[in-house]
Chains A and B, each alone.
Chain A
C-alpha cells in the first residue's frame, strides 16, 4: 500500500513568519507532487506542483523536493491569517493519475 505521510498538526506560526510543511511518500517511482490547500468544509485547491529535485517558487510559496529522501515540503513566507487552512500533499501512484493524499497538516497563523 503506497502511503503519503504528513504531520497532522496543528502547526501554529505568528503572522509574518515562515511556515514549513512536510510530507514523505513511500512510492520510489513517484515523479509528480502536488500541494493543495483546503479550508474547513471546502474543496482542495491546487497551490503548487513540483516534478524535479530542488526548489520551485511561486509568490510566497516554495515547494522543495528531494526524491532520494522521498521528501517534499512547502514553505509559506510572510504567513497571513488567511493562510490558516489544512495543507494536503498529494502524490500520484506510479504511472497513474490516481492521487494518493496525505492526512493534511492544519496550519494556524495567529495575528
Chain B
C-alpha cells in the first residue's frame, strides 16, 4: 500500500539553526499538509498546500516557517531560526483531493529536538 515517507526520522538541531524536514507524499495525491504534535499534546494543523501554493495556515505557521515543493515528489517544511518550543513530532500528510471529506494519510513523522 502506498505510503507517505518522511526524512529524517529524528533531527537534532541547535537553537537558532535552520532545519528542513522532508516528505514524499503518496504519488497520485495532490494535497499536502504539515501537522505537529508536541509531546503529550494534541496533533495541531500547521499548513495545507495545493498547486504550489499555501491553501491555509494556522497561527503557529508564522514567518519562520515555509513550505516548498522543489520537485515533482518532495514536499518540505523549513524552519528558519529554530526555538526550543519547536521541539515536536512533525507529520506530513497527503490526500488525493482537497475538501473536508477527504481522508488524510500521515507519514511516520520526524522527531525534531532543539537543543
Contact = CB atoms under 8 A, between A and B. Distances in A.
A103 interface: yes
A95 B35 CA distance: 19
B30 to A, nearest CB: 11
A17 interface: no
A26 interface: no
Interface residues of B, number: 27
Given A92-B100, A98-B58, A99-B45, A42 B108 contact: yes
Nearest to B104: A99
Contacts of B41: 103
Contacts of A100: 45
B42 A103 contact: yes
B42 A102 contact: yes
A97 B43 contact: no
Interface stretch (B14-22, B63-71, B80-88, B91-99): B91-99
Given A43-B91, A43-B109, A44-B91, A97 B104 contact: yes
Contacts of B89: 43
Given A44-B91, A101-B44, A102-B42, A31 B108 contact: no
Contacts of B101: 31-32, 49, 51, 92
B31 interface: yes
B105 interface: yes
Contacts of B109: 42-43
Contacts of A95: 100
B56 A96 contact: yes
A34 interface: yes
A65 B10 CA distance: 38
Interface in A58-86: none
A36 B91 CA distance: 14
Interface of B: 31, 33, 35, 41-45, 48, 55-56, 58, 89, 91, 95, 98-109
